[in-house]
């Protein structure tokens, strides 16, 4: 059904297995029939490299409205929350199956800078597997609107004094009658300025035990007067959605607690692990987008009277990328299948072997993507550095993702620990 052109030389090489083909075809069909024509019709807001940002560097309302529309259309088609279990309204896909979905979205939906295509699939703003732990009443209030794509969320873990070391979080939660009062400063919060719901990690003041046992996760309606959006965090990705968040005597009812006091850290890690598990598919999709761009350019661009792709110096980075894509695809799909067989993202007690898999699956594909993006810029020459060339943005994304959801060094630290090196 998908009519995107496949490069003849590669057909069959990066095959999608038969059991996943139907859902991947639906995703590609949605991008082709809904997203790309929509971007075309609303080109004013995605036409230029920075046309989607306002004067403060935040997403323009028009761009947000476009993303919201794509998100809701995707949710209506049952594509937005494919990663969640069916009992909470998701598509019930395994992580291995999600690999192929992510790959398709990032390969075919990377044409514009506005993130409109990417909005079809739940990302940081979407319903995370951590929220499966809500009870029925909580689900109806908080999770259902996220699954339906009607609302968005943000996750507030990082603080000025707590990044890699999550246990250093100093935002406090104090009991107040049957509710809680939150106070603290959060930093680098994706979708912080625009979310409807914030998932806030805090330290419970009167709980006993070491720091990691005293944490709790709270849901905050961002219209709560105690939720303040701080300064935008302008960053390498120019995403327009990242900011400081301040909690100032932010009172929430008792039923805004997710799970129990003490669940905060595993819940936060459940959210983080969700992002880690998506990296192999994301990197494979972006890698294939880069490979498409490199192949096309190397065949069409001429220098010294012949296509640049006739030179070995131009062929080899393309060859290496095509080869390494196999490594990431095989590693990603096999290790995610093994993770699926072992546990699930919503399991708060992750076996060490599962944590190790996710850490390996985060850092290695990200490192490869960084090299692929660097090579793509080199193959495209000056055009590769231009916004119009379509690859410098992937380079910035590739550089970025090696820090959020646990920096590369933290992944290696986790892997080393599971190998008995501590
Ligand atoms: C664009 C963007 C979006 C983000 N979105 C969110 C969000 O939505 N919500 C949220 O809560 N957070 C978010 N973050 C924060 C992100 O998770 C943190 O930046 C990340 O965890 C690293 O923390 P840090 O920046 O404080 O670095 P630090 O912890 O200060 O680390 C600095 C360097 O030291 C290294 N290092 C630290 N400790 C060790 C160690 N023991 N061994 C070896 N090396 C070590 C790190 O790997 C890193 O290279 C976002 C960040 C960015 C850049």
What does the pLDDT read at residue 421?
A: 96
162 with 242, same domain? yes
Q: What is the predicted pLDDT for the residue at 110?
A: 81
- Are both 359 and 277 inside the same structural domain? yes
User: φ and ψ at 421, to 5 degrees?
Assistant: -100, 75
Q: Which of 127, 142, 162 is the last residue of a domain?
A: 127
321 and 198 in a single domain? The answer is: no
The residue assigned the tokens 């476009």 is: 66
Q: Of 93, 127, 161, which closes a domain?
A: 127
**How many residues are recorded in the chain?**
422
> Which residue minimizes the CA distance to atom 36 of ligand 1?
409
DSSP-assigned letter for residue 59: B
- Confidence band, pLDDT 50/70/90 cuts, at residue 37: confident
- Per-residue pLDDT band for 362 (boundaries 50, 70, 90) equals very high
Q: How far is CA 305 from CA 301, 311, 312, 313, in A?
A: 10, 12, 16, 16
Q: Which pLDDT belongs to residue 118?
A: 87
Using one digit for the tens of pLDDT, what is the confidence trace for 93-143?
A: 999 999 999 999 999 888 655 568 889 999 999 999 999 999 999 999 999
Centroid of ligand 1 to alpha carbon of 278 (angstroms): 18
Tokens of 295: 């192949």
188: left (phi over 0), alpha (psi -120 to 50) or beta: left
3-state DSSP call for residue 162?
Answer: strand
Q: Which residue has the higher pLDDT, 143 or 212?
A: 143
What's the average model confidence in pLDDT over 185-211? 96
Give the mean model confidence (pLDDT) for residues 346-367. Answer: 97
Q: How far is the CA of 166 from the centre of ligand 1 (A)?
A: 9
pLDDT 10s digits, 43-70: 665 545 567 888 898 999 988 999 999 9
79 in the same domain as 63 = yes
What distance in angstroms lies between residue 235's CA and the mean position of ligand 1's atoms?
14
Judge whether residue 313 has pLDDT over 60.
yes
Supply the range of the domain harboring residue 270.
265-418
Closest protein CA for atom 16 of ligand 1: 404
- Residue 47 has a pLDDT of 47
pLDDT band at 2 (very low <50, low <70, confident <90, very high): very low
| Ligand 1 proximal residues by C-beta, below 6 Å | 124, 154-158, 163-164, 188-190, 235, 237, 242, 400, 403-407, 409-410, 413
Place 8 in a pLDDT band, splitting at 50, 70 and 90. low
Range 337-355 average pLDDT = 97
Q: Is residue 341 situated within a structural domain?
A: yes
Q: Flag whether 138 is in a domain.
A: no
Secondary structure class of 201 (helix, strand, coil): strand
Q: Classify residue 5 by its DSSP letter.
A: P
**Section 387-410 average pLDDT:** 95
CB-CB contact of 245 with 159 (8 Å): no
Q: Which atom of ligand 1 lies nearest, measured to the CA of 239?
A: 1
Same domain, 249 and 270: no
- Tell whether 307 and 235 lie within a shared domain: no
Q: How far apart are CA 226 and CA 246, in angstroms?
A: 8
CA-based end-to-end distance of the chain: 52
Percent with pLDDT over 70 in the chain: 94
Nearest residue to 124 (alpha-carbon basis) of 271, 246, 282, 236 = 271
* Crossing angle (nearest 10°) for helices 352-385 and 312-342: 150
Place of tokens 């609302």: 151
Tracing tokens 């075919």 back to the chain, one arrives at: 108
Which ligand 1 atom is the nearest neighbour of the CA of 201? 11
Q: How many domains, in total, are found in the chain? A: 3
> Among the atoms of ligand 1, which is closest to the Cα of residue 186?
11
Residue 85 DSSP class: -
Q: Give bridge partners of residue 246 from the DSSP assignment.
A: 185, 228
Identify which of 407, 408, 410 to mutate to test ligand 1's pocket (most ligand atoms within 8 A of the CB): 407
The CA–CA distances, whole Å, from 67 to 2, 94, 108, 151 equal 23, 25, 16, 12
Q: The tokens 């607690």 sit on which residue?
A: 257
Is residue 402 located within the same domain as residue 282? Answer: yes
User: What is the C-alpha separation between 404 and 21, in angstroms, rounded?
Assistant: 31
Could you tell me the CATH number of the domain that includes residue 405? 1.20.140.10
Q: How confident is the model at residue 9 (pLDDT cuts 50, 70, 90)?
A: low
Q: What is residue 46's predicted lDDT score, i.e. its pLDDT? A: 53
The answer to whether 185 touches 244, Cβ cutoff 8 Å, is yes
Pair of tokens at residue 217: 């996760």
pLDDT digits (tens, 9 = 90+) for 278-308: 999 999 999 999 999 999 999 999 999 999 9
**What does the block give as tokens for 201?**
């990690």
Residue 172 in contact with residue 202, Cβ under 8 Å? yes
From 124-133, 202-211, 242-251, 334-343, the region with the lowest mean pLDDT: 202-211
Predicted pLDDT of residue 1 = 38
Q: What is the mean pLDDT of residues 153-160?
A: 98
For position 3, what pLDDT does the model report?
A: 47
- For 60, phi and psi rounded to 5 degrees? -65, 150
Cα–ligand 1 centroid distance for 188 (angstroms):
9
Angle at 326 between CA 336 and CA 21, to 5 degrees: 60
């Amino acid at each position: 059904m998908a009519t995107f052109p496949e490069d003849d030389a590669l057909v069959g090489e990066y095959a999608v297995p038969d059991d996943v083909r139907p859902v991947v075809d639906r995703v590609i069909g949605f991008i082709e029939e809904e997203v790309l024509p929509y971007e075309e019709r609303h080109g004013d807001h995605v036409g230029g490299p920075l046309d989607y940002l306002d004067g403060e560097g935040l997403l323009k309302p028009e761009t947000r409205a476009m993303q919201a529309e794509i998100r809701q259309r995707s949710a209506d088609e049952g594509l937005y929350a494919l990663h969640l279990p069916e009992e909470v309204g998701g598509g019930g896909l395994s992580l291995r199956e999600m690999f192929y979905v992510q790959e398709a979205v990032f390969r075919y939906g990377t044409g514009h800078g506005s993130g409109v295509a990417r909005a079809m699939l739940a990302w940081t703003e979407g319903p995370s597997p951590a929220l499966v732990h809500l009870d029925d009443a909580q689900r109806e209030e908080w999770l259902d609107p996220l699954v339906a794509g009607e609302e968005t969320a943000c996750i507030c873990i990082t603080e000025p004094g707590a990044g890699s070391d999550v246990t250093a979080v100093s935002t406090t939660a104090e009991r107040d009658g049957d509710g809680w009062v939150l106070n603290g400063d959060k930093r680098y919060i994706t979708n912080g300025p625009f979310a409807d719901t914030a998932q806030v990690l805090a330290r419970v003041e009167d709980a006993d035990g070491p720091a990691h046992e005293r944490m709790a996760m709270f849901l905050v309606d961002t219209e709560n007067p105690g939720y303040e959006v701080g300064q935008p965090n302008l960053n390498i990705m120019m995403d327009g959605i990242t900011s400081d968040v301040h909690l100032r005597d932010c009172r929430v009812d008792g039923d805004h607690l997710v799970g129990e006091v003490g669940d905060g850290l595993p819940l936060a890690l459940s959210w983080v692990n969700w992002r880690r598990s998506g990296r192999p598919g994301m990197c494979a999709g972006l890698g294939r987008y880069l490979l498409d761009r490199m192949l096309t350019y190397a065949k069409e661009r001429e220098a010294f009277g012949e296509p640049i792709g006739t030179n070995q110096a131009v062929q080899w980075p393309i060859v290496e990328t095509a080869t390494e894509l196999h490594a990431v695809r095989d590693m990603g799909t096999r290790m995610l299948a093994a993770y699926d067989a072992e546990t699930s993202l919503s399991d708060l007690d992750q076996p060490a072997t599962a944590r190790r898999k996710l850490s390996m699956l985060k850092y290695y594909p990200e490192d490869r993507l960084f090299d692929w993006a660097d090579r793509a810029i080199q193959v495209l020459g000056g055009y590769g550095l231009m916004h119009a060339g379509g690859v410098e943005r992937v380079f910035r994304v590739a550089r970025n993702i090696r820090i959020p959801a646990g920096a590369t060094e933290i992944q290696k630290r986790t892997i080393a620990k599971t190998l008995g090196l501590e």
